[in-house]
Chain A
Amino acid sequence: MLRWFHEWGSPKAFYLRSGKMLPWLACLTLVLLTVGLVWGLLFAPSDYQQGESVRIMYVHVPAAILAQSSYAMMAIAALIALVWRLKIADAAVQTAAPLGAMMTLLALATGSLWGKPMWGTFWIWDARLTSTLILFFLFVGVLALRSASGQGRNAGRAASVLALVGLINLPVIKYSVDWWFTLHQPASFTLTERPAMPVEMWAPLLVMVLGFYCWFALAWILRLRLEVLQRERRSEWVQRLVSP
């Protein structure tokens, strides 16, 4: 396990191996997102209650799911960075934070767009929207702390601690927001937890979720490769790569 870590953890090995994976991942992402979007936006049935506006779901739900799991991924990278001191893990935290923040913003934006036809207003203090907003600030916190910490090898460690504390606190925050919400608005309608979604609707949704995950992996790896090149710009292998 540890050896595997170190093999992949060296920036050079990561750069070279991930390069071979990239075309495949890019193709997979493209196919999944195209299929999912066309299926969801054109062929899936509209909702008898919400009409066509339900199609926002095909972007909103994957974005919301990805936003949460990207925080978990970032925090796991943070743990690895703190415990094993892998350089690549620190770079992974640094590059995951803006991506996660972006996903959270997308979830918020689509959520509020969906809210307009459903609730008649762009923003409502719904439990899910509120905890997504808080998640956004957690991402922003890690991002801000990381960018204020500078470049050294130890610079990322404070942000990693913050990301980990955030992961532990995330359930607490989520549950407390849920309590708060049920107290103020008992028995209400939430966006996605609906009784039995028909298969024609959840199948394209599943494709979209998978597509989003692939896109995230792709974007993360691309950013990581860039970061690795920048950090290792003085090393021999990068010099050779740049000037053949």
Chain B
Amino acid sequence: MLQVNALSCHRQGEWLFKELAFSVSGGELLEIRGDNGAGKTTLFKILAGLFDDYEGEVTWEIQDPPLYVGHRFGLNAQLSPVENLSFLVSLNQNAPARKDLEVALGRFNLADVLDQPCRSLSEGQRKRVALARLELTDSQIWLLDEAFSALDTKGRQVLTELCQRQVAQGGVVIFSSHQPVSDFDSARVLALGKSV
């Protein structure tokens, strides 16, 4: 589904990565590992199609745009989790029913804050609101930048389950982490940066 050839990218004259090549097919789980500043976020932005200052080729064979959850979650401070989630999902597909939203948020243990404005939520709660999108999306490709950090054990568990289900259904999950994520036994690892 994804083919990356000779991908190079530099910022301020420093190479972030050079001649990167990999491919991902349906049902695969890819972990991108690297230190701070190794270019993980830039790579995710390139894969999502947000950033195009690179050399090389990135080819997707998919109909729907990939779903990207980055450092910024896209949650408006004035709106509630239900409203934000509904808006984000409806950018790509039909607006979800209130019930589905409640189920998705409830799974991430957010049933108490469904209708509170997002500005009153904690960072961890907001992260879980953003991740609740995974439950509702039709997208085959998930790009999860630093998805597992700042999550409690329960949250990690739910996310792991969701990812495993996605992969089992033939989708693709690409995620990044500072430290190895032990929750998956089948993940391929792509290491970025000089240290590896």
Direct contact between A and B in the complex (CB less than 8 angstroms)?
Answer: yes
What residues make up the interface of A, taking CB atoms closer than 8 Å to B? 151-154, 234
User: In the complex, which residues of chain B have a beta carbon less than 8 angstroms from the beta carbon of A154?
Assistant: 52-53
A152 vs B12: C-alpha distance when bound (angstroms): 7
Is A152 touching B13 in the complex (CB atoms < 8 A)?
no
User: In the complex, which residues of chain A have a beta carbon less than 8 angstroms from the beta carbon of B13?
Assistant: 234
Task: Name the interface residues of B19-65: CB closer than 8 Å to any CB of A.
Answer: 52-53
Chain B 1-17 against A: per-residue CB contact (8 Å), 1 yes, 0 no? 00000000001110000
B158 to chain A, nearest CB (A): 37
Nearest CB to that of B52 among chain A residues?
A154
Is B11 touching A152 in the complex (CB atoms < 8 A)?
yes
Show 6 A/B contacts (Cβ-Cβ < 8 Å), sorted by A.
A151-B12, A152-B11, A152-B53, A154-B52, A154-B53, A234-B13
A58 to chain B, nearest CB (A): 46
Q: What 7 A-B pairs have minimum CB-CB distances, sorted nearest first?
A: A153-B53, A154-B53, A152-B53, A234-B13, A154-B52, A152-B11, A151-B12
Category for how many chain B residues contact A: under 10
A152 vs B13: C-alpha distance when bound (angstroms): 9
B82 to chain A, nearest CB (A): 35
User: In the complex, which residues of chain A have a beta carbon less than 8 angstroms from the beta carbon of B52?
Assistant: 154
A199 to chain B, nearest CB (A): 55
A234 vs B12: C-alpha distance when bound (angstroms): 11
User: In the complex, which residues of chain A have a beta carbon less than 8 angstroms from the beta carbon of B12?
Assistant: 151
A152 vs B42: C-alpha distance when bound (angstroms): 14
A234 vs B13: C-alpha distance when bound (angstroms): 8
A47 vs B194: C-alpha distance when bound (angstroms): 75
User: In the complex, which residues of chain B have a beta carbon less than 8 angstroms from the beta carbon of A152?
Assistant: 11, 53
User: In the complex, which residues of chain B have a beta carbon less than 8 angstroms from the beta carbon of A151?
Assistant: 12
Nearest CB to that of A153 among chain B residues?
B53
User: In the complex, which residues of chain A have a beta carbon less than 8 angstroms from the beta carbon of B53?
Assistant: 152-154
A67 to chain B, nearest CB (A): 33
Nearest CB to that of B54 among chain A residues?
A153
A210 vs B196: C-alpha distance when bound (angstroms): 61
Nearest CB to that of A155 among chain B residues?
B53
Nearest CB to that of B13 among chain A residues?
A234
A154 vs B12: C-alpha distance when bound (angstroms): 12
Chain B 114-158 against A: per-residue CB contact (8 Å), 1 yes, 0 no? 000000000000000000000000000000000000000000000
A101 vs B103: C-alpha distance when bound (angstroms): 59
